[in-house]
Structure 1
Amino acid sequence: MTWQQFKQQYLVRFWAPMPAVIAAGILSTYYFGLTGTFWAVTGEFTRWGGHLLQLVGANPETWGYFKVIGLQGSPLDRIDGMMIIGMFGGCIAAALWANNVKLRMPQSRIRIAQALIGGIIAGFGARLAMGCNLAAFFTGIPQFSLHAWFFALATAAGSYFGARFTLLPMFRIPVKLKKVDKASSVKQDENQARLRFRIGMLVFAAIIGWGLLTMFNAPKLGIAMLCGVGFGLLIERAQICFTSAFRDMWITGRTHMAKAIILGMAVSAIGIYSYVQLGVPPKIMWAGPNAVIGGLLFGFGIVLAGGCETGWMYRAVEGQVHFWWVGLGNVLGSTLLAYYWDDLAQPLATNWDKVNLLTSFGDKGGLLVTYLLLALSFAAMLLWEKRFFARKAKRDEQLIAEAA
């Protein structure tokens, strides 16, 4: 294979979602084994909000939530912080490779309001549940934490209500038709594409070099950054978005992304299990009402906003201004939860047990239960898709019959 063929096939074209999500599951497993933590982003976004408050003279380090997740140092000193920097670097490099960077403004103020309010709701819900679509779902379930199952089911329910809510007439934007003399060309500017590809390669080389140099003094931080680059490449090139996985299931009946996510978790679970047997402790969170309420809020919020914690990151660097507002909302919502945590913690979270399925059912039993639940989830996706399209076909037949 020549360089030009490799470039077009793997760096410029979008990647198939199914293998990319499975690859993300495998990478998250190694990330856990090498750094001792799971792939997560909203905890660090909450710390960013805390640092901003410190800049204006507040003392968020005294809040109970930051005593749980920590606020010491800076993003450069934390595994999550370096991983997210790597993710942004990977997203930017991938977007530039494909010349997929263009400033795109929201179509209306309604969309900006949706992005900001939805982002706040999702950020608040994610941190109430101690994790977003990653830590409390995609990487939480393979960690054998019961709270992740509560969160996943609640997120599905929340996304259903969010999908129905966003279909209301108030969210419909009038379409303005423009008269044109001729069709606009869709051909890319080859010189621009070539320049951006080179800049993308420089960004990629710089972030990889930064990660490798960091490994000499702080191995885990360097590994976190390099893994973050991998995560960033995967989510941008394959356009991995958990929001679409939930929303499409309810609106269009398509479950391809949802099934890919289940398979990704299935692949990750056996790897996490192996590391746990080697002595790396899994991350287990409270299986209380916080996981359910947080999941409902998160599911509703991501659909209202139009993007989840991974989705807004790669779309923001692609120039979609709408998702800048989603990201801002995420930081604001998660910081707001941190402020109210002391009032909510005991009744909703800390008074409840942290349930580890490997402890409750034994090592092999916990692994088996996890795979049984994943299998049931996959079967439910197949059943839902079949029923959805069967009903759609029946409605179409009725409309045809009425028209005739």
Structure 2
Amino acid sequence: LIGLAIFGFAARLWVGKGRTWWDRKWLIGALALAVLAALNLIIAGQPWGVVYGFGLWAAKIVNAAGLFDPAANAFWSQAGNAQRLNEMVLMDITSITNIGILGGALWISARASTDSKPLTAKQWLVGLIAGFLMGYSSRLAFGCNIGAMLSGISTGSIHGWIWVPLAFAGTMIGVRVRRHYQF
């Protein structure tokens, strides 16, 4: 709580005096996110995560194609992970939440204005490279901003607090790259 208070105070200083920093939509979104994360912890018995589900899907695909032997892999040969490879994807709680996230994103994008211009080939390429780098690095970090930071901080883990400044630095780099390509 002290760490969150420090970040809140720093955000207030960053915004400056006389400027609003409590947007009602952001506050409602933050509260909804906190409630849903708490419900996930209660129902699933584990903190909210995202990355494991995508790794599971990829492992299932390459395993089904005969390109991968889970027994030869230290991670997938562990009992719990090996069991998940043999179960339906719908039996994995992380996969269920990922399907919900993807469904929600598709629903929101379908409702979005159609006035926007289609992406250029360069924007697609940069987006695909950035997405791959984010996905790969989140797997290396044992989680994305949900699993590493949000769930890490909410469960009292120090790794979430280490993750925040490093993610912020990466975001600053990403914003500059994005400006360079005029997204």
Under a length normalisation based on structure 2, what TM-score does the superposition of the two structures give? 0.72
Residue 45 in 1 paired to residue 57 in 2? Answer: no
Map 1:3-402 onto structure 2 (within 5 A).
Answer: 16-62=25-71, 63-67=73-77, 70=81, 71-72=84-85, 73-92=87-106, 99-100=111-112, 106-168=118-180, 171-172=181-182
Check the 8 A contact 1:42/1:131 in 2, yes or no: yes
Residues matched between the structures, number: 155
SS at match of 2:144: coil
Relative distance call for 1:116 and 1:139 in structure 2 (3 A) is same
Task: Give 1:108's aligned amino acid.
Answer: T
- Counterpart residue number, 2:9: none
Alpha-carbon distance between aligned partners in 2 of 1:115 and 1:35, rounded to the nearest angstrom: 32
1:84-136 per-position Cα deviation (integer Å, ceiling 9, x unaligned): 2233444555666xx43759774211111111110111011101111101000
- Counterpart residue number, 1:242: none
1:236-294 per-position Cα deviation (integer Å, ceiling 9, x unaligned): xxxxxxxxxxxxxxxxxxxxxxxxxxxxxxxxxxxxxxxxxxxxxxxxxxxxxxxxxxx
Q: Which runs of 5+ in 1 are unaligned?
A: 1-14, 174-404
Alpha-carbon distance between aligned partners in 2 of 1:51 and 1:153, rounded to the nearest angstrom: 34
RMSD, aligned CA: 2.7
Task: Give 1:65's aligned amino acid.
Answer: F
SS at match of 2:76: helix
Q: Which runs of 5+ in 2 are unaligned?
A: 1-23
Alpha-carbon distance between aligned partners in 1 of 2:132 and 2:126, rounded to the nearest angstrom: 10
Relative distance call for 1:100 and 1:143 in structure 2 (3 A) is same
Structure 1 residue 21, shift from structure 2 partner: 1.7
Relative distance call for 1:114 and 1:94 in structure 2 (3 A) is closer
Structure 1 residue 23, shift from structure 2 partner: 1.4
Task: Give 2:94's aligned amino acid.
Answer: D
1:348-379 per-position Cα deviation (integer Å, ceiling 9, x unaligned): xxxxxxxxxxxxxxxxxxxxxxxxxxxxxxxx
Alpha-carbon distance between aligned partners in 1 of 2:153 and 2:131, rounded to the nearest angstrom: 23
Question: What is the percent sequence identity of the aligned residues?
Answer: 23
Check the 8 A contact 1:75/1:81 in 2, yes or no: yes
1:29-68 per-position Cα deviation (integer Å, ceiling 9, x unaligned): 1210221112211110111111121132122523223346
Alpha-carbon distance between aligned partners in 2 of 1:122 and 1:109, rounded to the nearest angstrom: 20
Structure 1 residue 161, shift from structure 2 partner: 1.9
1:292-345 per-position Cα deviation (integer Å, ceiling 9, x unaligned): xxxxxxxxxxxxxxxxxxxxxxxxxxxxxxxxxxxxxxxxxxxxxxxxxxxxxx
**Structure of greater relative contact order (alpha carbons < 8 Å, 6+ residues apart):** 1
SS at match of 1:66: coil
Check the 8 A contact 1:106/1:112 in 2, yes or no: no
Runs of 4+ more than 6 Å apart: none
Task: Give 1:37's aligned amino acid.
Answer: Q
Task: Give 2:98's aligned amino acid.
Answer: I
